[in-house]
Amino acid sequence: MEESSVLQAFTDLVTLVYHEGRNARHLIHAGLIKDPQPYNRLTYLPRNREKAWKLLQKLRNAAKMRPDAAKVADAYSRHFGLTLEEMSHLFHHEGWRHSKVGGNRWAAITDSVIPLRDTLVDGRTEEAEKVADRTLSMNHNRGVVVDKLRNLDHALNREGLI
């Protein structure tokens, strides 16, 4: 995998992390997050996964034009007002325990995306390839990450959006 391919995979993964962050609404509605303000931009994403994914495409495409992983991560951080580390903190929230959406699986995925960013920033392409492959093969609540990306993109294809 070339460095540009790993950077594209990183961009897709970051998009997916923020996409899943929209589920913070469940913790907020349950009263488990006392200050929901930091998550407002996430919860404005539609509940429907395909509609939320569609809405993220402008940001995703702009991020794919960024020259490095730090700038990709920064694009999302600026847009949502939350860093990847803060997204990890959200997914580690105790309120996700036994949840069918968001939560612990996404904490592990986000915790894998962060070192992927760091290996790319440090220019350790071979290590970044391994981290990207491992992250794409991780399980989330309903399957494997790479399949979730493929299915969401397939939904966009059905609508002629990519």
pLDDT for 2 equals 64
Instruction: Give the type of residue at 83.
Output: T
pLDDT tens-digit map of 126-157: 999 999 999 999 988 778 999 999 999 999 87
Residues 86-130 pLDDT 10s? 999 999 999 988 776 667 789 999 999 999 999 999 999 999 999
Residue-range domain boundaries for the chain: 3-158
For the chain, how big is the Rg over CA atoms in Å?
15
